Amino acid sequence: MNNSLNLLEPNLLLEAIESYDYYTPSQREILKIIVQTSIAGKSKITTTFIAEKVNVSRTAVYKTLKKFVEEGDISFDTHSKTKQRSILLNIDSIQKIVSLHLSKQNIKPKV
């Protein structure tokens, strides 16, 4: 699952998330932070860290993470022995965001 994430071009991935209109700007920023801080699709950042970086409340971060889980973009590592759970990216979902971005680029009229 996670190894394929390393094959995606980081700039393309961030561009794709930025252009993903399904999420609000702050939700896109949160997803980008998760992606940027992940190693092999796994991120161990806190909601406080995310909230400070995006300049939103921790409650907003919790709600956004819940939405990401419901949409299948992320899950949480339930096998963690520490209090802090790792965030696991769903590579299939992330690849769909990138594919949508690439499709949009192909449709745009050339100026």
pTM: 0.85
Kind plus residue range of the DSSP H or E element containing 84: none
> pLDDT tens digits, residue range 16-61?
999 999 999 999 999 999 999 999 899 999 999 999 999 999 999 9
> pLDDT tens digits, residue range 71-87?
999 999 877 666 678 99
Is 105 in a helix, a strand, or coil?
A: helix
64 or 108: which carries more pLDDT confidence?
64
What pLDDT does 3 receive?
A: 47
